Amino acid sequence: MPKQTTKPKPSTKVLQTKKRHRRQWLTTLRMIRYGVNNFTRNAWLTIAATAVMTITLLIIFMTATAGVVLNDSVDEMKRKIDLSLYVNTDTTTEDIDSIAEDLRALETVESVRFVTPEEGKQELAEDNKADDTALDALTEATNQLPGVFRIQLEDIDDTSELETFVNENSTYQANQDREPSFVTRADTIQTLTRWASFAQQGGIVASIVFVLISSLIIFNTIRMAIFSRKDEIQMMKLIGADRNFIRGPFVVEAVVYGFIAGVVATAIGVALVWWSKDGLTSFGIQMNDTYNFLIMYIGLVVLAMIVLGGIIGTVSSLFATRRYLKV
C-alpha cells in the first residue's frame, strides 16, 4: 500500500509575513477609500481646489504646446528668410562653379542653389502673377537681374563663416553685384530668435506662478480638512493608528484633485489646439505637427498630465500634513 505524503505546513514566519502583507494591503485600500470619501465631503473646497489645479495644468499644457509651436514656426520663418549672394549678370560659368564649390565646402552650409537671371525673372513673374501692375512692370523692364546663390545654413543664426567667405573669397568679390541679403536681414533673424526666447521664458514663469498658487490652495484645503476632522484624528491617535494611516487619506484626496484636473486640462487643451489649428495655420503658424503629435500620443499626454497633477497634489498635501497634522 503506497505511503501517503502530507503537505508540509507553512512555517510561523511565512504565516506572519502573509498576514503582514494582507494587513498592509487592507490598510492601503482603507486609506484610498477614506481619501475618496474626503474628496466628496466639502463640495465647494473640492471644486475650488480642482478648478485651480485644472487651470494650473492647462497653463502648463498650453505653455509646452505653445513653445513647440513657436519653435516650429520660427524655424519655418527662418528657412524662408532669403540668404542670398548676388553676382553680376555676365559672371562666367567657371566662376559660378568655383563660387558654388567653395560655398559647399563651408561646414555651416547645408545646400547651395544658383538661380540664373532668366530663372530669377521667371520666379518674380510667378510670385507677382496676381499683381497686374507689378507683372507689367517686370515684363517691360530692360535691365538684367543678377545671378543669385541661394544658401541654406544648418543654423541660420550662425552666419560667421559665410561672412568670412564674403570678405575673403576673391572670385566672389570680383563678381559681386550687391550686398548679400543675410547682412541686411540679420536684425530680422535676431528679432525672431529673441521673441521666441522671450515667449518661452514668459510661459515658464506663468507656469511656475500657477503651480505655486495651486499648491497653496491645495495646502489650505488639506489644512481645513484636518481642522474640520480634529476629533476624528484625535480618536485615531488614541487607538494607536499609524501616522501613515492618518496622513494617507489626505494625500489620496490631493492625488484625486490632480487626477481629475489632469484629465480635464488635457481635454480642454487638446480641444483648444484643435479649435485654433486652422485659423493659426492660415497665418503661417506651424500647428499641424504639434496637433498630430498630441492626437497620436494622447494616452501618454493624459498620463503625463495626471502624473504632474498627482505630484503637485502629493507635495502640497505632505507639506500640509507635516505642518498641521501633529503625528
pLDDT (tens digit per residue) in 173-203 = 888 888 887 655 556 666 767 777 777 777 7
Angle at which helices 243-282 and 230-238 cross, to 10°: 140
Question: Which residue matches cell numbers 494607536?
Answer: 240
This prediction has a pTM of 0.65
The total of structural domains in the chain comes to 2
Domain membership of residue 262 (yes or no) is yes
Cell digits of residue 265: 486640462
In a domain, residue 19? The reply is: no
Task: Judge whether residue 231 has pLDDT over 50.
Answer: yes
Name residues whose C-beta falls within 8 Å of residue 185's C-beta, 6 or more positions apart in sequence: 81, 82, 83
With respect to residue 18, please indicate whether it lies within any of the assigned structural domains. no
Residue 160's CATH number: 3.30.70.3040
At residue 129, the pLDDT reads: 55
160 and 248 share a domain? no
Give domain status of residue 15, yes or no: no
Q: Quick one: 128 and 91 in the same domain?
A: yes
Residue 46 scores a pLDDT above 70: yes
Asked if residue 224 and residue 158 are part of one domain, the reply reads: no
pLDDT band at 48 (very low <50, low <70, confident <90, very high): confident
Do 232 and 101 lie in one domain? The reply is no
User: Where a domain ends, among 159, 184, 209?
Assistant: 184
Which of these three, 160, 184, 208, is where a domain ends? 184
With a cut of 60, say whether residue 309 has pLDDT above it. yes
Verify that 65 and 146 share a domain, yes or no.
no
154, 162, 182 from 109: Cα distances, Å: 6, 8, 13
- Dihedral of the alpha carbons of 308, 311, 320, 250, in degrees to the nearest 10: 100
Domain containing residue 137: 83-184
Provide the 3-class DSSP secondary structure of residue 150: strand
- What interhelical angle do 298-324 and 186-228 show, nearest 10? 50
Residue 26 belongs to a domain:
no
Q: Give domain status of residue 299, yes or no.
A: yes
Quick one: 57 and 111 in the same domain? no
More confidently predicted of 106 and 143: 106
Q: Is the pLDDT of residue 276 over 60?
A: yes
Structure-block grid coordinates of residue 306: 495626471
The one-character DSSP state at 176 is B
* Helices of type H across the chain: 12-41, 43-80, 93-104, 117-127, 132-140, 160-168, 170-175, 181-184, 186-228, 230-238, 243-282, 288-296, 298-324
**Helix-helix angle 186-228:230-238, to 10 degrees:** 70
202 and 168 fall within a common domain: no
Same domain (yes/no): 315, 227: yes
Please identify, among 169, 184, 199, the residue that sits at the C-terminal boundary of a domain.
184
